[in-house]
Amino acid sequence: MNPVNPSRRRVLQLMGLAGFGALAGRTAWLQVVEGADLATKAKDERTVAWTNRAPRGDILGRDGTVLASSAVSYDIGVNQVKVAQYERSEERTDPATGEVRSVVVGHGAAAAAEQMAEILGVDAQELGAKMVGESTYVVVAEAVAPDTWRRVNALAIPGVEPDQRTRRTYPAGSVAGNVLGYTYEGTGRTLIGSAGLELTQNDVLTGVDGQGRVEVGKSGAIIPTGEQKEVPAVAGDSVRMTINPDLQAVAQEAIDEVVDAQGADWGCVVVMEPATGKLLVLADSDAVNPAKPSETPESSRNARSVQAIFEPGSVGKVITFAAALEEGTMTPEDTWTVPYNWTAANGQSFHDSHYHETQTLTSAGVLAESSNVGTVQIGEQLDDAVRHDYLKRFGFGALTGIEMPAESAGMVAAAADWDDRTRYTTMFGQGIAGTALQAAQVLATVANKGMRVPPRVVDAWIDADGNETPQEIPAGERVISEATAEALTEMLIGVTQDGGTAEAASIDGYLVAGKTGTTEILTEDGTVASFVGFTPARDPAIAVAVIVYRPRDTYGGTVSAPVFRKVALAAMHSLGIAPDPSVIAAQAAAETDAAVEAAQSESADEEG
């Protein structure tokens, strides 16, 4: 054997040293320079991360009834490619040897579906059909409860993946649907308010999502010594409304019935506490079911009670009479000569809704009979600027500040812009426009002894820990004096008594003060029929506005007043306000007198 040449040996040694040096250098480079990045990359590859969805805050009725809530659920998706490779194994004992072995008992989508179907409560063959294909993700089950998903997940079927979602539920269906609004799913699976309180209170209701991270091995098992981090979600605050759910349901049923019976376009009911501004009812006909908004026409998904404007008609007379009383240009006992037709000094002519011979009426009688001719004679005693100021004081032409989207301020032109006719029509509620909410506010102001308190539909906010922040009641604004409000109340009581235009609004055992309204719609055929009032008249608990748009019948006294009576009586029962014995006695005496008068009239006819 020839000895190795020393020079060759030297070269081999140098080459070995160079290779070792390069390897050592590469190792050092990997450890020192790239080590942190590689370790991070490896950790990321074996780390599973997820989002803990924050529940959206609840919306509650004033009694705590949950009207909108959120629940976390899962959509189960499948990677069809991975599922096709699934092998279901079971431990079997060899009877000959006693050896326990793992035996494959099923393959692919069929085996996976067989196991999952029992947990999900679905047909295995139908489920299996959804799991066959080449898609990397297809949803096979929606809105699965967390407990159900955990049972599916425990099967450890490769390619079966969860999609955690927060879904909004509305347990009472369409009750207060137009107040609640509804949501849609935005980016990142976050629910976003799209109408009603869901929209205006969106920032309050929206919670803060949490996150989770855990390291897993190749088998999918959690590495005990690996990173495990969990940041819990923080639920959004809840909103408690002033709305009474039971009374809201009564009002929705009542307004739906009259709209259907009258073939009207729409209707709404507002019930308000005069002293606090809190709304017990904000009801619209054909109320949207927030869980299925697409099933309701788009025009009916919002709250017309705060958005739709119309000429208030005879509700405007209340403002004219209030101004005249407050300014001292008229008293309830003053008398007026009221013909059927009347022509003003500027040549504008007006007439009453029904033909009658020339009458002598007191101011109270003019209001009770809703005489346009008498009203313009009374209103003519006031300067236009003064009347315009009272229209604004009572809230027309300004937003109320209600916590609802797209509220309308209505329309009240400057007095200087009124033409020769408009200066008179504004006296009886034409030539101006407002909402049902504003109409209710007018009568609520009278009921509250002349103080206007802005309406509110949010009672309190409640955080995730149960801490409550109540809504502050505004101080209110003085519109008319207590004396004027009391005098006007007595006049409005006459409207609902025998001979008034709103006898149908009277309630056994309770005094009602109110005003009917019938207004022609200028932009289309038809009328708006309304009744706005409060009860018990001398100690008011509620003010109510009932609006019916384009009914077949014309008059508020026959269309809207019966709805008022039904809703107001339900409110009295709900609030625990018992009938007044003195009112019952007076109503019984009036009925007796009416019966005696009718009998005497019938006897006289027979003798004649």
Domain ranges of the chain: 50-241, 245-289+300-329+341-463+473-577, 580-607
Give the pLDDT mean for 459-487.
94
288 pLDDT exceeds 80? yes
pLDDT at 503: 84
pLDDT at 599: 65
Q: How far apart are CA 107 and CA 153, in angstroms?
A: 18
Q: What is the b/e burial string over 49-67, where b = at least 16 CB atoms within 10 angstroms of the residue's CB?
A: eeebbbbbbbbbbbeebeb
pLDDT at 29: 61
Domain covering 50-241: architecture? Alpha-Beta Complex (3.90)
229 pLDDT exceeds 90? no
Give the pLDDT mean for 55-78.
93
Q: How far apart are CA 455 and CA 457, in angstroms?
A: 7
Q: How far apart are CA 458 and CA 584, in angstroms?
A: 36
Mean confidence (pLDDT) of the chain: 89
E strands, 202-241, are 210-215, 228-231, 238-241
Strand partners, 73: 165
Tokens found for residue 326: 């407050």
Give the pLDDT mean for 569-591.
89
Q: How far apart are CA 574 and CA 543, in angstroms?
A: 15
Amino acid letter, residue 312? P
User: Which three-class secondary structure state does DSSP give residue 260?
Assistant: helix
The pLDDT-based confidence of 523 (bands split at 50, 70, 90) is confident
Does residue 344 contact residue 424 with C-beta atoms inside 8 Å?
Answer: yes
User: Which three-class secondary structure state does DSSP give residue 467?
Assistant: coil
pTM of the model: 0.83
Q: How far apart are CA 359 and CA 341, in angstroms?
A: 11
Query: Looking at 86-100, 181-195, 400-414, 463-477, which range is the least confident one?
Result: 86-100
pLDDT at 44: 58
Amino acid letter, residue 441? Q
Does residue 176 contact residue 67 with C-beta atoms inside 8 Å?
Answer: yes
Tokens found for residue 368: 């009770």
Tell me which CATH homologous superfamily contains domain 245-289+300-329+341-463+473-577: DD-peptidase/beta-lactamase superfamily (3.40.710.10)
pLDDT at 4: 54
Q: Decide whether 50-241 matches 245-289+300-329+341-463+473-577 in CATH topology.
A: no
Q: How far apart are CA 387 and CA 171, in angstroms?
A: 47
Query: Looking at 236-245, 294-303, 542-551, which range is the least confident one?
Result: 294-303
Q: How many CB atoms are closer than 10 A to CB 445?
A: 27
* Phi and psi at residue 517, to the nearest 5°: -150, 135
Angle between helices 384-393 and 315-327 (to 10 degrees): 120
Give the pLDDT mean for 294-319.
94
Does residue 528 contact residue 518 with C-beta atoms inside 8 Å?
Answer: yes
Count CA atoms within 13 Å of residue 458 on its CB side: 25
Q: How far apart are CA 259 and CA 249, in angstroms?
A: 15
E strands, 108-204, are 138-144, 160-169, 183-185, 191-193
The pLDDT-based confidence of 481 (bands split at 50, 70, 90) is very high
pLDDT at 461: 98
Tokens found for residue 561: 């007043």
The pLDDT-based confidence of 228 (bands split at 50, 70, 90) is confident
Q: What is the b/e burial string over 351-382, where b = at least 16 CB atoms within 10 angstroms of the residue's CB?
A: ebeeeeeebebbbbbbbbbbbbbbbbbbbeeb
Q: Which of 470, 5, 532, 574 is nearest to 247 (CA)?
A: 574
Largest CA-CA distance found in the chain, in angstroms, rounded: 162
Torsion from C-alpha of 246, 249, 254, 257, nearest 10 degrees: -150
3-state DSSP helix/strand/coil % of the chain, to nearest 5: 40, 25, 35
